[in-house]
Amino acid sequence: MSASPEDTKAFNETWKEPSGFPGGLATVDNIRIGVRYMATAFSFFLIAGVFALLMRIQLAVPDNHFLGPVDYNRLFTMHGTTMMYLFAVPFMEGLAAVFLPFMLGTRELAYPRLTALSYWVYLFSGLTFFSGYLFDMVADVGWFAYTPLSAPAFATSGIDFWLVGLGAAELAGIAAGAELTVSILKLRAPGMSLAKMPLFAWAWLVTAVMIVFAFTTLFVATVLLESDHALGTHFFSDAKGGNHLLWQHLFWFFGHPEVYIIFLPATGIVSMIVGTFSRRLHGYTLIVVGILVTGFLSFGLWVHHMYTTGLPELSLYFFASASLVIALASGTQIFAWLSSLWGTQPKLLAPLLFVLGFMFIFVLGGLTGVMLAIVPFDVQVHDTFFLVAHFHYVLIGGAVFPMMAAVHYWAPKISGRMLSERLGKWSFWLTFLGFNFTFFPMHIMGLLGMPRRVYTYRADLGIDGLNLAVTIAAFVMAAGFLLIAFNVIWSLRYGAVAEKNPWGGDSLEWSLLVATQVLFPRLPVVNSRHPLWNANEPQEPELERLVETLDHRPADWRATVLVNAITGKPEALVRLSTWSYMPFVTSIGIMLVTIATIARLYLLVAAGVVVTVAGLICWLWPDPAETERMQRETLPQETGLPIFTTGAKSLPWLGMLFLMAVFGWSLATLFYSYFYLRLYAPHWPLDGLPLPELLGPALIYGSLLIGAIAAVCAWHRFGRSKIRSQIGFAASLVVGIVFLGLRWADAWYLEVSPRANAYGSIFHMLGWAMDAIVLTGVGLSAAALARSISVTQDWERILAAQVQIVAHYWIFSAASAVLVYAVLYLSPYLI
Amino acid sequence: MSTLDPAGPAAAKIALLWWVMCGVFAGVFVLVVVLMYMAMRRTRSATPPLGKTGFVIAGGMALPLLVVIPLLIYSLETSLALRQPAGAFTIQVRGHQWWWEVRIPEHGIVTANEIHIPAGVPIRLELTSADVIHSFWVPRLHGKMDMIPGRTNTFWIQADSPGVYRGQCGEYCGTQHAKMSFEVVALTPDEYRAWVDARIAERKKRREVAEPSRGKVVFRQAGCAVCHTVSHFPEATGLAGPNLTHLGSRRMIAAGNLPNTRTELVNWIVNPHTAKPGVKMPATQLPSEDLNALVDYLETLK
C-alpha cells in the first residue's frame, strides 16, 4: 500500500522550495544550504591556499625580497584564520547539514531557518573579514592574536575586521552546533537508538556540543577584546589591571577543542568509509567511547599551548598527562579501523586511498603531538617550524584528507555522478606526496632553529636547501587539490551516472537514489546498526505501521517524527519551518551591526539591531493558516503521536535550552575572567575603589525573582484561566523593564566607569551580560502576551510549549541574577 | 641555532630527550605502517592477530600506555634536571619591539642585544617585556621562556664552553619579529672578568673626560638622544631605543643582524628600513661630515 495521490501531491507542494533569484535567498533546504556551505568553505580554502603559496615563495630562498614583513605577517594571519574559522569547521558543518538527515533517516534538520541564517552569517562574516584588504586594514597578529599585540596600544586597525568578522562567524558556528545537536538527538528514523546511530552522527553529536561551549568562550573573548578597542575598557591592558594571560587562557580554552572540532567529524567520515569498504566495522563501542573521551578531555588541555609562559610546573604536568590520555582515545580509533580492514581485501579506490593517506599522516602527526605534550621538549620546539609541521600533519592529515575522501565518496549522492577514479588516484598521489614533502622537512627545519612566523631567515642557518624543497613540494600539493576541484566540476557533466549505492554502503543515505527535496516521504524504520546490510532483521510491526501511516503525511504542513533521544522510539510529530526570506533579512541586520561596529557608526549599529529584531519577529511569528492546518490534523488520532508538545518533545523548548546554555556559559566565562583578574590584582576593587554597595543592587537583582515567580504562575494558571496567565506575563514583562531601568540608573551613578580600570570593565561587562539575558526574557514575555491575545481558540494546546519556555527562561534569568549578584557584590567582601 | 647541537647542560638534556623520543616513536610509526600494509594484504584469516577486540585494546590502548607512561616519567626527570640552579648570577633581559635590553645589575652594566656570560656556570635570567609578548630563546643553550609585560619570568642558561650562541625571539611580536635576534657571548671566567672591568673602566673614563666632541653635538641635534641613552651624557637619556653606552664594543648592530662595521653603522643610521623594514628607528639624513663625526663618536663608546 502506498500514499494516496492527493496526499503525495499536497506533500510535494508543501515541501517545495523556491529557487533561482530571489527565491534562492529564501530556501531552507538543508541539502542546498549544506552544498553552499561546502562550496563557500572550499573557496576560502583555495584563497588561503594561495596565501600559503605566496608565503612559500617568499621563504624559498634566504633574505628574499618577494614580500616585505608587513605583507607576510598579514598573509600568515589570514591563512591561519581562514583555514581554521572559514574553511575547516564550516566545510564539516556543510557536510553534516547535507548528510546527517540522510543518515539519520529524517526529513530535515531541526531548525531549517536557523540553517539558512547560519549560512548567511557565515558568508557575510567571511566577506567582512576579507574586505579589510579593500581598505588596506588587514590584521597581522596571527590566528591566535595574543594581547597586547592585538590590544589597542599596539594593534593596527585591521584587528577590527578580524575580531568583528570572527565574532559573527562564531555566532554562525554556535547556531549550527545547537541545531546539529538537537537534530542528532531527536530527529532520527523510528527505531534508531543511540547505539544504532552511524558513527558519523556520533562524531558530530560530540563535536556539535563542543562547538557550543568552545565557540561561546571565544565569542566572549572576542567581545572583551573588541570592547577594549571600541569602548576603551581595560581587560587586556596590564597598566590598568588587565591581564595578558587571560586572553591566552580564554583563547586556548576554545583553541584546543577547536582542533578536535575539526578532527572528530573527520574520524566520523573515516569510520563510515572504512565500514563500507571492509563490509564491517569493528569496535563500534570503543570508537564511541574514544570520541566521548576526546571531546571531554579536549576542554582540559588548553594549557599545553602555554608551557613557555612561566606557569607552575606541576600544573603543566597535569595538562601533559591529560594530553597523553587523548593519545589512547585516538589510538583506539586507529586500531579499530585497522582491525575492520584486516584481511577483507577492500578495493583500493579513491575514497579508501584518502583514508589510508589520512591514517599514515595522522599517526605521524599524533606522535609528534605526544612529543609536544612533553613539557621540556615543547619549550625547545614551541613556536618553531616543528610545530608548524605537527599541526599541518594533524589538520591536513587529520581533517583535509578525510574531507577529500568524503568528496569522492559522497559527491555522487549530491550530483548523481561519479567522480573520475583515475583523476582521483592522481590527485591522491599528488596531494599525499606533495603534503609529505612539504611538511616533513619542516620538522627538521624547526629542530635546526627556524622559528614560525618569520618572513625571512639568514643564509647561515643551514636551512635554505630544505626551504627550497618545501616550496616546490607545496606547489605539487596545490596541484593535487586543484585536480580534485577539477574532478568535481568535470564529473557534474561527464561523470558516470551513479547507482543508488555505488560503494555498497550500510547507512541510510544509500537507500535513496539522489538528493531530492524531501529526503524521506516515507520514513525508514531502523532496527540495525547497518540498516542497508541487515534487511532481514526481525521487523517491528508497530513502527512499520507508523511509517506506513506517515507516508507522504502530514501533507499540508512540514513535519517529521521526533524520537526518544536514547531508544529511538517515536514520541511526537514535530513541525519544521518552511522557507522564508527572514533568515536572510536577519543576517543582513547582523551584518549591519558588525560593519557599523568596525566603522564606529553607532547609529548604524542601532539600525542593524532594529533590522535583526524585526527579522526575528517576522521569522518566528507563526503562520495562522499553518497553525490551523496543524489543529485539523488527524494524525495524532491515527498514530498516537502528539503534535503540540512541550519539554524535551518540543523543538522550540530544546532550542531554548541551547540559548540558555550559551548565555549561561558566557556568564561562566565572565565569572572566570572576573576571578582571574582579581587573582592578579594587588587589591580588589582596583585603585582603592570602595567595595560595592549591597542593599540597592540586592533589590534590583532580586526583583527578577518576582519576574520568575510571575512567569511560573502564568505557566501554571495556563489552561485554567487565560486572563490570569496574561497578567503573569505582563508582570514579568514589567519586572524586566523595571530591572533594566534601575540597573542602568544604578550603573550610571556608580563611582567606577568601565574605562577606569579592569575592575570597572569586568563589573560593567557582567552587568551588560545580565541586561542581555533580561532583555531576551522581556522579549519572550512580550511574545507570549501577544500570542495569547492573537490565538483565540484551542490556545491551551497551541501555546503550551511557548508558555513553558517563558517560565523556564525566567527561572534561568533569576538564577543568573543571583549568581551575578553574588560575584559582583558579595564576593569582594569574602576575603 | 640548532637544537640538535647543544652547547649547554639544559639544551643537552632536551636534545637527548628528543633523540630517545625520536627513536621510540619512529618504531611505533613503522609498526603502525606495517600493520596498515598487512591489513590491506590478502591474509589467511580476516581476523587480526589477538582477535578483533584484543587487537584494538593491545594496539590502541596497551601500546600507547606502554610508550607514554615511561616517557612521562623520563620527561619529569628531565624537567627536574632543568630546574633553576640555586644562587646563580643574575642578568635581566627586557624585550622591546624588536630588540633586547640587557642589564647586569651586579656591575651596573646596561647594553643591548648581546649577553656576555662566563662559560661553565649557570646564569639566572629575569625576563620581562616593555611592550608586547616576546620569548627568550637560545636554542643551543636552553628552550624558550616568554617575556610578558607586567610580569617577570625567571629562567636560566649555561654554556659549557666559550663561544657565540645566537638567540632569537620565539613569540611572534609584530612586524620585525623575524629579525629580533641577539647573541650570547660566553667567555672564560678570566675573559669575562676582563670584559666587565673594561666596561666599568670605560664608564669611569667618560666621567673624567667630558670632552665636547662634534659627534656628541650631532648625536644631540639629530635627535638620537631622544631615544637612546649614553652614560655620562646628560641629554642622552632616551629609553625607546637600545642603550648605546657600550655600542662600540658590540659585535653586531640592529639586534644581531648586521656586523658592527663602520659602513653598516652608517647605512643603519641613514636608512634602517633597508635592513629591517618597519623598525621603529627613523631614517636620519645628515651631511657627510656630521655623519662621520657621529659615527666616530659612536665608535668610541666601547
Residues B171-218: pLDDT tens digits? 999 999 999 999 999 999 999 999 999 999 998 888 776 667 899 999
Beta bridge partners of B252: B259
Round to whole Å and give the CA distance between A309 and B144.
9
Round to whole Å and give the CA distance between A348 and A96.
25
**Contact of A110 with A183, CB cutoff 8 Å:** yes
**Contact of A85 with A168, CB cutoff 8 Å:** no
**Contact of A97 with A103, CB cutoff 8 Å:** no
Task: Report DSSP state, residue A522.
Answer: S
The residues, ordered by sequence, that sit 6+ positions from A411 with a Cβ below 8 Å of its Cβ are: A417, A419, A488, A491
Tell me how many helices (H) and strands (E) chain A has: 28, 2
Check whether the bond before A22 is cis (ω within 30° of 0). yes
**A152 near B CB under 8 A:** no
**Contact state of B32 with A154 under an 8 Å Cβ cutoff:** no
Residue listed under C-alpha cell 610546573 = A313
**Contact state of A320 with B72 under an 8 Å Cβ cutoff:** yes
Question: Cell numbers at residue B233, please?
Answer: 651624557
> Residue type for A503, please?
W
**Contact state of B175 with A140 under an 8 Å Cβ cutoff:** yes
Supply the pTM of this predicted model.
0.96
Given a cut of 70, the residues of chain A with pLDDT beneath it are 1-2, 514-517, 536, 719, 831
A 290-319 → B contacts, CB under 8 A: 290, 308-310, 313, 317
Residue A647: left if φ>0, alpha if ψ -120 to 50, beta else—which one? left
> Residue type for A645, please?
T
Round to whole Å and give the CA distance between A332 and A371.
19
Closest Cα in chain B to A156: B174
Chain B residues with CB under 8 Å of A310 CB are 145-146, 148, 151, 153-154
The residues, ordered by sequence, that sit 6+ positions from A467 with a Cβ below 8 Å of its Cβ are: A59, A60, A61, A62, A445, A457
* Nearest C-alpha neighbor of A550 from the set A525, A515, A579: A525
**Contact of A86 with A43, CB cutoff 8 Å:** no
Chain A residues with CB under 8 Å of B44 CB are 343
The residues, ordered by sequence, that sit 6+ positions from B106 with a Cβ below 8 Å of its Cβ are: B89, B90
* Nearest C-alpha neighbor of A213 from the set A258, A180, A266: A258
**Contact state of A331 with B61 under an 8 Å Cβ cutoff:** yes
Structure confidence at residue A744 (pLDDT): 96
Round to whole Å and give the CA distance between A520 and A343.
36
Closest Cα in chain B to A320: B72
Query: Angle at the Cα of A625 (from A619 to A627), degrees rounded to 5?
Result: 75
C-alpha distances (whole Å) from A470 to each of A331, A455, B289 are 29, 15, 48
Round to whole Å and give the CA distance between A667 and A817.
10
Round to whole Å and give the CA distance between A763 and A311.
27
Structure confidence at residue A311 (pLDDT): 85
**A324 near B CB under 8 A:** yes
C-alpha distances (whole Å) from A691 to each of A686, A759, A821, A824, A830 are 10, 11, 13, 10, 11
Round to whole Å and give the CA distance between B91 and A124.
51
A 450-489 → B contacts, CB under 8 A: 450-457, 461-462
> Residue type for B274, please?
T
**Contact of A248 with A235, CB cutoff 8 Å:** no
Chain B residues with CB under 8 Å of A244 CB are 133, 148-150
**Contact of A337 with A274, CB cutoff 8 Å:** yes
**Contact state of A384 with B45 under an 8 Å Cβ cutoff:** no
Is ipTM > 0.90 here?
yes
The residues, ordered by sequence, that sit 6+ positions from B292 with a Cβ below 8 Å of its Cβ are: none
The residues, ordered by sequence, that sit 6+ positions from A400 with a Cβ below 8 Å of its Cβ are: A88
Burial of B29 (0-12, 13-18, 19+ CB in 10 A): middle
**A331 near B CB under 8 A:** yes
**Contact of A774 with A813, CB cutoff 8 Å:** yes
> Residue type for A549, please?
T
Round to whole Å and give the CA distance between A316 and A301.
10
**Which of A449, A457, A462 lies nearest to residue B139, judging by beta carbons?**
A449
Chain B residues with CB under 8 Å of A68 CB are 277-278
**Contact state of A449 with B35 under an 8 Å Cβ cutoff:** no
Round to whole Å and give the CA distance between B260 and B249.
9
Pairing of strands B114-118, B181-187: parallel
Longest dimension (CA), chain A: 85
Cβ neighbours of A679 (radius 10 Å): 10
**A146 near B CB under 8 A:** yes
CA distance, residue B166 to nearest chain A CA (Å): 10
Pairing of strands B123-129, B89-96: parallel
**Which of A149, A320, A377 lies nearest to residue B17, judging by beta carbons?**
A377
**Contact of A95 with A558, CB cutoff 8 Å:** no
Structure confidence at residue A831 (pLDDT): 67
- Percent of chain B that is helix, strand, coil (3-state, to 5): 45, 20, 35
**Contact of B280 with B251, CB cutoff 8 Å:** no
Question: If you count residue pairs, one on A and one on B, with CB atoms under 8 Å apart, how many are there?
Answer: 239
CA distance, residue A688 to nearest chain B CA (Å): 20
Given a cut of 50, the residues of chain B with pLDDT beneath it are none
Structure confidence at residue B37 (pLDDT): 95
C-alpha distances (whole Å) from A391 to each of A246, A262, A472, A686 are 24, 12, 20, 40
**Contact state of A377 with B14 under an 8 Å Cβ cutoff:** yes
Provide the terminal-to-terminal Cα distance of chain B, rounded to the nearest Å.
Answer: 27
Round to whole Å and give the CA distance between B212 and A223.
56
**Contact state of B148 with A370 under an 8 Å Cβ cutoff:** no
Question: Where are any strands of DSSP class E within B71-179?
Answer: 89-96, 99-104, 109-112, 114-118, 123-129, 134-137, 144-147, 153-157, 163-168
Round to whole Å and give the CA distance between A677 and A766.
13
Chain A residues with CB under 8 Å of B178 CB are 69, 451, 453-457
**Contact state of B14 with A348 under an 8 Å Cβ cutoff:** no
Query: Angle at the Cα of A169 (from A164 to A174), degrees rounded to 5?
Result: 125
**A382 near B CB under 8 A:** yes
Alpha helices, DSSP H only, in A60-157?
Answer: 69-81, 89-104, 112-131
**Contact state of A363 with B53 under an 8 Å Cβ cutoff:** no
- Percent of chain A that is helix, strand, coil (3-state, to 5): 70, 0, 25
- Which residue pairs from A493-502 have beta carbons closer than 8 angstroms and sit at least 24 positions apart in sequence? A493/A417, A494/A417, A495/A412, A495/A415, A495/A417, A495/A418, A495/A419, A495/A420, A496/A417, A496/A418, A497/A416, A497/A417, A497/A418, A498/A412, A498/A413, A498/A415, A498/A416, A498/A417, A498/A418, A501/A532, A502/A412, A502/A418
Chain B residues with CB under 8 Å of A67 CB are none
**Contact state of B68 with A327 under an 8 Å Cβ cutoff:** yes
**Contact state of B63 with A331 under an 8 Å Cβ cutoff:** yes
Burial of A475 (0-12, 13-18, 19+ CB in 10 A): middle
Round to whole Å and give the CA distance between A580 and A598.
29
Structure-derived torsion over alpha carbons of residues A257, A258, A261, A263, reported in degrees to the nearest 10: -100
Chain A residues with CB under 8 Å of B60 CB are 286, 290, 328, 331-336
**Contact state of A370 with B71 under an 8 Å Cβ cutoff:** yes
**Which of B41, B48, B131 lies nearest to residue A339, judging by beta carbons?**
B48
**Contact state of A343 with B47 under an 8 Å Cβ cutoff:** yes
Residue A725, helix vs strand vs coil: helix
Which one of A308, A355, A364, A387 would you mutate to disrupt binding with B, by most B Cβ within 10 Å of its Cβ?
A308
Residue B99: left if φ>0, alpha if ψ -120 to 50, beta else—which one? beta
Round to whole Å and give the CA distance between A775 and A359.
49
**Contact state of B177 with A356 under an 8 Å Cβ cutoff:** no
**Contact of A342 with B39, CB cutoff 8 Å:** yes
